């Protein structure tokens, strides 16, 4: 007897059987073959279809209930929709199974291709998600390269880390640390000097002697502390502050330029 592979199954006929007496699986299978034989002609003869591999094994699950039996029947096919429907309808002509009366009702004809399509869609989503998860890695490589380029732009000016234009520029922007300096470099501002923290070295005064200085400070208590240090050691010409509770290193381009545009005389 031929078998039908799951990959070639198009439809799955599902039917339920109720009998007035106790019956077993061989009784049901025998009745299906015996009582549908010749109904639909040779082309849809169930035995021949199985031998050709166009109908799969008949799967039957039987349960006995108080002197009667109930069964679930499944028949896979690779026939077209019309042939499958005819085969399914022929099951409902069965009136006896073994020694007892029986009634078979087709519950559904399941299009297995829908199941395959559902699998394809689900799997495609998983694959797409995996592809998208790889993108941050590529982006991180890009960020790493850009970070290396920006870091290589940092120079030394009067003992401080500075942007490449700091020495030539008439205007200097003081920031607290290297992270602030890198963020401004990232956004195209290259005349920045990093003071190195809240404790400002005495030689910062040398920079203020021949440059116009804007101190660009965090919008928190740390920024307030640096401002007091600057008052004593390297008084700037202008003060620009990050938004409240924000740090210069985390600002975007628009926030940076807005803060510098809104600077106030010291």
Locate the domains of the chain by residue range. Answer: 6-112, 152-265
What is the per-residue pLDDT for 14? 96
pLDDT, position 205: 86
Better pLDDT: 131 or 237: 237
Closest CA to 75 of 24, 26, 115, 32: 32
pLDDT of residue 261: 93
pLDDT of residue 175: 92
| Count of C-beta atoms within a 10 Å radius of residue 248 | 26
Closest CA to 167 of 200, 206, 197, 201: 206
What is residue 193's predicted lDDT score, i.e. its pLDDT? 93
One of 3.40.50.720, 3.40.50.10490, 3.40.1360.10, 3.40.449.10 is the CATH number of 152-265, namely 3.40.1360.10
Can you list the positions of beta strands (E) in the chain? 11-19, 59-65, 68-77, 96-97, 100-111, 155-157, 160-162, 171-175, 192-194, 212-217, 238-241, 264-265
Confidence of residue 216 (pLDDT cuts 50, 70, 90): very high
pLDDT of residue 1: 46
**DSSP state at residue 217:** E
Class of domain 6-112: alpha beta
**Cα–Cα distance between 178 and 133 in angstroms, integer?**
31
Higher pLDDT pick, 197 / 234: 234
- What is the C-alpha to C-alpha distance for residues 11 and 69, in angstroms, rounded to an integer? 26
Q: pTM of whole model > 0.75?
A: no
129-143 average pLDDT score: 68
Pairwise CA distance, residues 44 & 37, whole Å: 9
Phi, psi torsion values for 242, nearest 5 degrees: -65, 160
């Amino acid at each position: 007897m031929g078998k039908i592979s799951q990959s070639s199954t198009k439809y799955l006929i599902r039917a339920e059987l109720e009998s007035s007496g106790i019956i077993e699986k061989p009784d049901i299978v025998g009745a299906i073959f015996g009582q549908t034989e010749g109904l639909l002609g040779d082309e849809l003869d169930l035995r021949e279809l199985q031998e050709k591999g166009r109908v799969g094994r008949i799967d039957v699950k039987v349960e006995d209930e108080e002197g009667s039996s109930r069964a679930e029947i499944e028949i896979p096919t690779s026939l077209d929709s019309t042939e499958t429907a005819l085969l399914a309808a022929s099951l409902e002509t069965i009136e006896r199974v073994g020694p007892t009366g029986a009634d078979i009702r087709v519950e559904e004809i399941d299009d297995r291709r829908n199941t395959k399509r559902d699998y394809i869609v689900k799997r495609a989503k998983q694959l797409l998600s995996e592809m998208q998860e790889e993108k941050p890695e590529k982006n991180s490589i890009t960020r790493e390269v850009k970070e290396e380029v920006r870091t290589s732009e940092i120079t030394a000016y009067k003992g401080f880390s500075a942007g490449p234009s700091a020495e030539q520029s008439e205007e200097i922007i003081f920031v607290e640390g290297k992270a602030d300096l890198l963020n401004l470099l990232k956004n195209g501002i290259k005349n920045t000097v990093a003071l190195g923290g809240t404790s400002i070295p005495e030689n910062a005064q040398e920079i203020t002697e021949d440059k116009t200085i804007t101190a660009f400070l965090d919008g928190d208590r740390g920024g307030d502390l640096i401002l007091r240090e600057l008052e004593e050691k390297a008084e700037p010409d202008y003060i620009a502050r990050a938004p409240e509770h924000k740090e210069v290193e985390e600002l975007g381009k628009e926030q940076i330029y807005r803060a510098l545009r809104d600077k106030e005389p010291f």
